[in-house]
Structure 1
């Protein structure tokens, strides 16, 4: 059984999925083919990718051997398996894709709720406990939901659920170096992020933050520091916006370099997004 903090992450994951579901539920078939900021991906590809990774997470939790076979298939085409999976799902009729994504979210939710709190489950990056798996699924749902929102011209209201995305971004600092074949700095960084202001949220309060609240990570006396809005940091580490378009401040050369390579997701280093004026 999950501990209370993990139960809260799972509740936030459900809410993040519901918010994205509301964006796509009433789209016309033609709207599903709208291009998103991810090159070559339309809205259908974004939802198909989330469904694909939800299925992978479910296998990790319930069928380690089956997940291993999925990884073996991915290794046969390491540069294209993500795109291939997204486009395969996107070829479905929108109603069928939506139904499958919803069913997959429900199955994963049940598996996460039933998972042992201490077991580490395999993944494409380091193995994760169920709570971390839920946080990672929320991070990816939020990031791909941002692409969908951008394609639709919708401005989403940031919520305190971004805390999970920010935490992963901070914890993944050394991974961002390793995936590029670089040595990570030995010293920890201090990261101070201004949380989103209060907004209407679900009854458990998971959608609200206190005005002016700061989410802080790392030693208070660290020489290398990052400060700025939590939303901007989350957009950066999920590579949904170019650093030059964000209000993040780095103090120290190591912190400054990290902002150029940060990523919260497992897998190869992404190309990131071009500056807003060059698109």
Structure 2
């Protein structure tokens, strides 16, 4: 049974880093557009607050979470945007307080969750450790949207990137599935270099299909925060090359991701820019 303590510490650190990035900004900055079309800095924070609250319901009231699923099914094309828009309408100080309170309650609930129990979600049920990893991945990804909007370069952190890279590898077959494709039968080899020169490897050493490159670039790819043309990832084999075009670590339908830098109309459309 996986102990979620380490990833919960990473989730707290990632959330606190984003908090520091936005906390002292002038109110007008919260209206700044991010690379996700139609979403401001406030929308990004509001989405994290909204999802934290949904996760809290899943952990503390699994039966009640059925109502959240019903809302999603009733408005599949708008429920994510609607949740973000509602929070973004709050004054920045109120939104910040709401996000802080919700994420703290979720951290406490995940710490106290019984080991071995799986909680409902919009995708497959998840353990406390898996849910914490998913929240870390999403906080990091939406934090990247905010950083890009504010023209801030974040310093990658090895422990947090390692968690996101791991979920990126584990969601390989999911990415094929949401595109209506059959995943390749053979496992891939993924070899990544962490920000401090760490070497992270996944899959059999003798696999014919291979991905290699910086861990940061891989995390940007699987969260669809950068186009593969702007990243230093190398694919060996046709299947591995195809995966880099469809990789997606977040739940939901296929994202369109960001266009290459310098392309006409560059910037993400829906899906990959928001999820």
Report TM bin, short chain: over 0.9
Aligned partners of 2:68, 2:15: CA distance in 1, in Å? Answer: 24
Correspondence 1:139 to 2:137: yes
**Stretches of 4+ aligned residues off by more than 4 angstroms:** none
Among candidates 11, 14, 18, match of residue 12 of structure 2: 14
Whether 1:249 and 2:234 are equivalent positions in the alignment is yes
Distance in 2 between residues matched to 1:275 and 1:67, nearest whole Å: 38
Gaps of 5+ in 2: 267-275
Tell me how far 1:31 sits from its aligned partner: 0.2
Q: CA deviation at 1:64?
A: 1.1
Task: Give the distance between the partners of 1:80 and 1:182, measured in 2 at CA.
Answer: 25
> Residue 202 of structure 1 aligns with which residue?
none
Secondary structure in 2 matching 1:103: helix
Separation in 1 of the partners of 2:63 and 2:89?
Answer: 28
Task: Provide the rounded CA distance (Å) in 2 between the counterparts of 1:252 and 1:36.
Answer: 35
Instruction: Name the Cα RMSD after superposition.
Output: 0.9
Deviations 1:90-142 (A, max 9, x none): 01111110000000011000000001121111111111100010010000000
Displacement of 1:65 after TM fit? 2.1
Residue number in structure 2 paired with 1:162 = 161
Q: 1:61-104, CA deviations, whole angstroms, 9 ceiling, x for partnerless residues? A: 01112211011011111111111111111011111100000000
Q: Give, in whole Å, the separation in 2 of the partners of 1:170 and 1:72.
A: 30
CA displacement, residues 129-184 of structure 1 (integer Å, 9 cap, x when unaligned): 00010010000000000000000010000011111110001000000011111100
2: CA distance, partners of 1:125 / 1:169: 15
Report the equivalent of 1:261.
246
- In the other structure, the counterpart of 2:65 is 67
Alignment of 1:37-56 (within 5 A): 37-56=35-54
Provide the TM-score with structure 2 as the length reference: 0.94
Note the C-alpha offset of 1:34: 0.2
Query: What is the alpha-carbon distance in structure 1 between the residues aligned to residue 104 and residue 148 of structure 2?
Result: 26
Separation in 2, partners of 1:7, 1:19 = 18
Contact 1:117–1:131 (8 Å) recurs in 2: no
Pairs within 5 Å for 1:1-279: 5-160=3-158, 161-197=160-196, 212-278=197-263, 279=266
What TM-score does the superposition give when structure 1 sets the normalisation length? Answer: 0.93
In structure 2, the partner of 1:209 is none
Q: Mind listing any 5+ residue stretches in structure 1 that lack a counterpart? A: 198-211
C-alpha separation in 1, matches of 2:236 and 2:193: 16
